[in-house]
Structure 1
């Protein structure tokens, strides 16, 4: 007859061979004879856990610990079952007990933290690593991992402190300095002489051939808006490692911000060639292709990316923009609905509880239309509202507060409400607010209207001109312009961070192109340009603003000013939308790779019948658009 120890060894061998039922039978026989046998309790607890009976397994291992709490294996295996049950705080306590008894068990504690971090639970990871560093305070790896967890948990100052401790433990580690510099970045310490810059420069002294340090320095400068310094840092990194795809990618992003789109595209192609399977780099290539004016290639690239990562929101949006740019409207408007997966649209999704309108009759109930993009977009898409009104749809429009007076006057049959965060409570109501006010039965973002209101080929419809400026203010502004003078309103600048550098024209260049006797150049541009305008006046150019007009805050006044001039010549900013929606003769000065709404290779636009598109024939070359605008001005002056 076998002894208890022999029986336990037989059961253990069966257990190892995955003959669980036979092993369990022997464990139970041992426990019938000796109910408090700690090793049998422990091993049967593990077996039950492996069989899916997690709660029973935990109970048995706890009994084993009650009999002998000095066994680190007992605590480690209990932690594993508790983690499988999702009881993470208890699992962490057991891992801490195991590591306290046996410092080599810190490996399991660290692994638990990394699993928690990967699962999106940085708080649990930080808690585990706090304990681990308490048990082994001189471990550089644990300090670094703790810093990662703290940073992910938005505890930037604590993360930087842990990095500094790690740095004290290894003061000459360039990689440590790089990581520390990058963790200082979100703490607002990225000034040119700030702590983050000093830390990264110290790392470069230790290892000037570390391209990752140059990359970190470039990222730091870019986040602070110092694009020239960022470009230099990335190029320094490429000088030491020309095969660093990440550096080519990041340099291209800086070049986009500087308006050097062709160079950005060349660099992005290089990055994609170096890492053809890196989805982020391939997606950025699609963006660079579209910005540089290659929508066909951008579409092909984006389709290839989506074949590998169908849920990548940025590429889905790029696909929509490429299709719309190419005039493939039917596909483009459908793809445009994917914009809700990326910023800034992501934050506006689900603002209203009503169901999305799909074009069906509302039975006398009201439809909510809400603007979800920039002011120019709101003006553009609002040109569809008169079509809805004519079709008998009762409309409520939520819009940018500065547009309310203009829209209310121009769309008298539409209820216009200023956008608020959160929305006006009346707009979120699904029941009737009053007997004479039917409920809002459905809602639709304004940018989704073209999908429903288009011709058979998807070409967008438009009721433009549909805006009506304040007649009294129009008369007042016109009175400020000398009698017999041809008034040309101009706007030349946008603060758009992505497109501004390719769209903007120097005021001096534009004013000289339009200067001629009998012409008053009227400033419709927001911002303070007093010195530049004074310098042009001193040269004999008749240029000036209109009294009492603030083009930024007073959009209703800006509309009146646009209506008061004879011709508008402007870049792609809000002014061109106002001019088109008011039906004013307009020359839109467009960059080589114009935004999707202006399509390609045409001088007219389906949105605004009175707008003529004057396109660059080569990047950064405004000679052709300015010549076309001058010809239009000469025609008016001659007439």
Structure 2
């Protein structure tokens, strides 16, 4: 290998570690121009492409590497990782078995195979792979943390926490271990520790963007009278709807609050205008005007929220009464139970790190349509977003001809809120519409995946965040049919009771 290529490789690795992937790629491409068939250059180009979520090109680079160096076990292990991200799990296992065959002492290959088995919901099998990785590399923090994830999915929560703590003891700067520990503590109701570890979200491999760092961070709720505080939404629309309840609490301490929220939510957050100045995300902010700032989802930490002190006074959002009246005229005078349904949270093309979770969260139209067999119910689709909305248009007559589809009338969340006010019940997967229904105080049944989001807590069918919510939890990974059958039983009882009024 030429000296210049060695230097370019070493420099690119430093930029990869600094998460400066664009610079690393330029250095590697320069190295490739000097040595087009260098397997190390190709492997690192594959790594950079994968870190940028460009898995298709990552696979091309690693395949080229393996053609040149077919006995490189590390390259086969990397190929297994890429195939996992592409959802090609069986192929990934073949690649990782080949890596283990070629490099039986390479601990990372066993760890990677364990991760693929987790994605395949073979949690128990994955444990032996992590144990093997740890036996080869006793200070392997990532393997301890990944084993913790498998144990959490096996409902062995205390063992999961122990493994996260082992990872942290080995590497106190290993952010993912703190994050996963929070994801075990919060659903168990250990909020005081969980909120602290939840701050690790700012330092993860693919972190959220921390903004307004020129303003002092809000750390306490003491002496807030007259202070100008900037609160900014940081995550998804559902997160914003859920935690916007803290705006009124801040205002009650005498603070002058400015709340930066997604433009899509401004109308439906209108009720908060009496407690804050509500502005759209993207508007220019004069940081010099503020004493403190806080990301929205750090407010539970600032307030020291425990399971017992969750602010759950609902409704804390309002709806447009004129729009509600328009929908009432459209709906007419049916005496049946009126139920809105949302079965898909949509596809976020710009958030590939969420694709796997979203896939587990969403329900196929073929499955949700089983609800149609419940008598005495008028079903209304509140489903927005593709691919689900387009699929409904093309398959409605085939699968659910009686479903009343008002999607074309729902141009923003204020429209959805007004329609929800006309309905007796909302049935929704874990998406922003479920939070909207809860914040409005509407009865909402939440269809919840096996690896539930922390906010719904563990082993509960109710929600202290939303008193009008009922949670239907998958007991087996991927089993939505069992959930829908449980819902049908309860819905039939509710419809029968409604018909007797």
Q: TM-score, normalised by structure 1?
A: 0.66
Is 2:28 the counterpart of 1:159? yes
Change over 3 Å in CA distance of 1:625–1:376 after alignment to 2: same
Change over 3 Å in CA distance of 1:319–1:407 after alignment to 2: same
Contact 2:337 2:495 in 1 (8 A): yes
Q: Which position in structure 1 is the counterpart of 2:314?
A: 464
Alignment of 1:181-220 (within 5 A): 181-183=43-45, 186=48, 191=56, 196=61, 198-203=63-68, 206-207=70-71, 210-220=72-82
Is 2:81 the counterpart of 1:249? no
1:527 alignment partner, one of 375, 386, 409: 386
Is 2:349 the counterpart of 1:487? no
Change over 3 Å in CA distance of 1:537–1:242 after alignment to 2: farther
Change over 3 Å in CA distance of 1:227–1:472 after alignment to 2: farther
Q: Which position in structure 2 is the counterpart of 1:177?
A: 39
Contact 2:121 2:477 in 1 (8 A): no
CA distance in 1, matches of 2:85, 2:450: 28
Is 2:406 the counterpart of 1:546? yes
Cα RMSD (Å): 3.3
Is 2:445 the counterpart of 1:583? no
Alignment of 1:195-594 (within 5 A): 196=61, 198-203=63-68, 206-207=70-71, 210-221=72-83, 229-238=91-100, 244-254=106-116, 267-291=129-153, 293-342=155-204, 345=207, 347-348=209-210, 350-420=212-282, 424-426=284-286, 428-430=287-289, 440-453=290-303, 459-481=309-331, 483-484=333-334, 485-494=336-345, 495=347, 496-525=354-383, 526-529=385-388, 530-532=390-392, 534-539=394-399, 541-550=401-410, 554-594=412-452
Secondary structure of 1:360's counterpart equals: coil
Q: How far is 1:282 from its partner?
A: 2.0
Secondary structure of 1:612's counterpart equals: strand
Structure 2: stretches of 5+ with no match in the other structure: 16-22, 348-353
Q: Which position in structure 1 is the counterpart of 2:20?
A: none
Contact 1:404 1:416 in 2 (8 A): yes
Contact 1:148 1:159 in 2 (8 A): no
Aligned residues: 477
Q: Deviations over 1:172-194 (max 9, x none)?
A: xxxx4354244256469964798
Contact 2:225 2:253 in 1 (8 A): no
Q: How far is 1:518 from its partner?
A: 3.5
Contact 1:486 1:520 in 2 (8 A): yes
Q: How far is 1:411 from its partner?
A: 4.4
CA distance in 2, matches of 1:346, 1:382: 19
Q: Which position in structure 2 is the counterpart of 1:73?
A: none
CA distance in 2, matches of 1:290, 1:634: 34
Secondary structure of 1:405's counterpart equals: coil
Change over 3 Å in CA distance of 1:595–1:310 after alignment to 2: same
Structure 1: stretches of 5+ with no match in the other structure: 1-138, 169-175, 431-439
Secondary structure of 1:557's counterpart equals: helix
Contact 2:247 2:272 in 1 (8 A): no
Q: How far is 1:397 from its partner?
A: 1.1
Secondary structure of 1:368's counterpart equals: strand
Contact 2:226 2:256 in 1 (8 A): yes
Change over 3 Å in CA distance of 1:534–1:157 after alignment to 2: closer
CA distance in 2, matches of 1:264, 1:401: 43
Q: Deviations over 1:147-199 (max 9, x none)?
A: 3435655253553453565566xxxxxxx435424425646996479852551
Change over 3 Å in CA distance of 1:575–1:271 after alignment to 2: farther
Change over 3 Å in CA distance of 1:184–1:336 after alignment to 2: closer
CA distance in 2, matches of 1:197, 1:268: 24
Secondary structure of 1:466's counterpart equals: coil
Question: Rg larger in 1 or in 2?
Answer: 1
Q: Which position in structure 2 is the counterpart of 1:126?
A: none
Change over 3 Å in CA distance of 1:507–1:272 after alignment to 2: farther
CA distance in 2, matches of 1:596, 1:303: 19
The one of the two structures with greater contact order (alpha-carbon pairs below 8 A, sep at least 6) is 2
